[in-house]
């Protein structure tokens, strides 16, 4: 059966008598994946903030590492909306520092003026701005979400502007033992390219790599209390999925945004699967050249 073109009709939600902000909130809460931020789950809705109102939506990724503080505004984004979004993000990150937090602004109209204002914070505050469009086709309504400003300042492939920390920070956030596990894997990295000078770069949200004083985050590390999360940039394939699964490792769902396999490794894993980890590192390193 052939498809026929149907011209959609744009709908202004701000002035609509039926489809309001609460309706948008409920649609996103039912299926957060429509935002295009990955496979997120709803953690809370209309979340009370101490002396600061209510956060529209709190979303979280499947492996409970990242949280998204989402504010919705119908019509054009304004100063108060930006301030409120950042305020809620700041409250949540201070209350739950074990997560990586992202401030998300959703509005029907994000003008270039306010996009410039928002972008000033990017690099210090991880802000994602999403423009929302409501369209009507026949008797149906749909929402289209387009990211106009993302968290690229926090891109693990270009972390020059991220907040630099040190080894002690990660020993406190994770543990001394899991930072030592990073050292063990880092030793494997150095052995692959003995002519290069590799260094660990301690950032606020992960430990990255410098190669000859240039960022090369083909692998990054997030020490936890009893294990280290090992994120490796390798294209997802059925063959690689099967190979990793066959080792019985603690695998987290693939990161489609940054194209990375994510594995939690403990001391026993690194000892038992050293050759396999070396194999994965080599693939990731070769892909980075």
**Domain assignment of residue 2, yes or no:** no
For residue 153, pLDDT over 50 is answered with: no
**Domain assignment of residue 108, yes or no:** yes
**Domain assignment of residue 159, yes or no:** no
Written in H, E and C, the secondary structure of 242-279 is HHHHHCCCEEEEEECCCCEEEEEECHHHHHHCHHHHHH
**Domain assignment of residue 162, yes or no:** no
| 73 and 133 co-located in one domain | yes
| 61 and 145 co-located in one domain | yes
| 109 and 195 co-located in one domain | no
Share of the chain above pLDDT 90, in %: 49
| 150 and 15 co-located in one domain | yes
Share of the chain above pLDDT 70, in %: 91
CATH of the domain at 204: 3.90.1150
| 14 and 150 co-located in one domain | yes
Are β-strands 127-137 and 140-149 bridged in parallel, bridged antiparallel, or unpaired? antiparallel
Nearest to 194 by CA among 287, 288, 285: 285
Domain boundary among 132, 154, 176: 154
192-217 residue pLDDT tens:
888 899 999 998 888 999 999 888 99
| 259 and 149 co-located in one domain | no
- Strand residue runs (E) in the chain: 9-11, 40-49, 53-61, 66-76, 100-109, 127-137, 140-149, 198-202, 207-211, 214-215, 219-223, 228-233, 250-255, 260-265
**Cβ distance 17 to 139 under 8 Å?**
no
Instruction: Quote the domain boundaries for residue 183.
Output: 167-288
pLDDT reported for residue 161: 47
The overall pTM is greater than 0.75: no
| 206 and 102 co-located in one domain | no
Give whichever of 33-47, 147-161, 179-193 has the largest mean pLDDT.
179-193
CATH of the domain at 75: 3.40.1350.10
Domain count, the chain: 2
Give whichever of 75-84, 90-99, 220-229 has the largest mean pLDDT.
220-229
| 118 and 230 co-located in one domain | no
Domain boundary among 154, 176, 207: 154
225-262 residue pLDDT tens:
899 999 999 999 999 999 999 999 988 878 776 788 99
| 141 and 195 co-located in one domain | no
| 82 and 117 co-located in one domain | yes
**Domain assignment of residue 70, yes or no:** yes
**Domain assignment of residue 160, yes or no:** no
| 121 and 35 co-located in one domain | yes
Domain boundary among 120, 154, 188: 154
| 119 and 60 co-located in one domain | yes
For residue 139, pLDDT over 90 is answered with: no
**Domain assignment of residue 204, yes or no:** yes
**Domain assignment of residue 37, yes or no:** yes
């Amino acid at each position: 059966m052939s498809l026929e073109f149907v011209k959609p009709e744009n709908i202004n939600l701000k002035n609509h008598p039926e489809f309001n902000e609460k309706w948008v909130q409920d649609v996103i809460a039912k299926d957060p994946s429509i935002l295009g931020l990955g496979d997120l789950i709803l953690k809370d809705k209309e979340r009370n903030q101490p002396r600061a109102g209510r956060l529209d939506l709190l979303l979280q990724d499947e492996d409970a590492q990242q949280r998204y503080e989402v504010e919705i505004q119908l019509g054009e984004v304004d100063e108060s909306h930006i301030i409120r979004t950042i305020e809620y993000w700041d409250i949540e990150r201070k209350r739950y520092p074990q997560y990586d937090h992202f401030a998300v602004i959703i509005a029907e109209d994000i003008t270039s003026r306010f996009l410039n204002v928002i972008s000033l914070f990017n690099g210090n505050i991880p802000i994602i701005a999403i423009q929302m469009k409501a369209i009507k086709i026949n008797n149906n309504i749909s929402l289209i979400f387009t990211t106009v400003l993302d968290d690229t300042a926090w891109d693990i492939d270009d972390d020059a502007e991220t907040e630099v920390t040190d080894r002690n920070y990660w020993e406190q956030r994770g543990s001394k033992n899991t930072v030592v596990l990073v050292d063990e894997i880092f030793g494997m990295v150095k052995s692959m390219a003995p002519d290069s000078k590799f260094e660990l770069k301690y950032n606020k949200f992960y430990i990255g790599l410098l190669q000859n004083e240039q960022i090369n985050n083909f692998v990054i590390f997030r020490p936890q209390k009893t294990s280290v999360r090992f994120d490796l940039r390798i294209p997802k394939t059925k063959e690689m999925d099967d190979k990793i699964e066959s080792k019985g490792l603690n695998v987290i769902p693939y990161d489609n945004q940054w194209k990375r396999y994510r594995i939690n490794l403990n001391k026993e894993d690194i000892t038992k699967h050293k050759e396999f980890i070396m194999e994965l590192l080599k693939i990731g390193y070769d892909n980075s050249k």
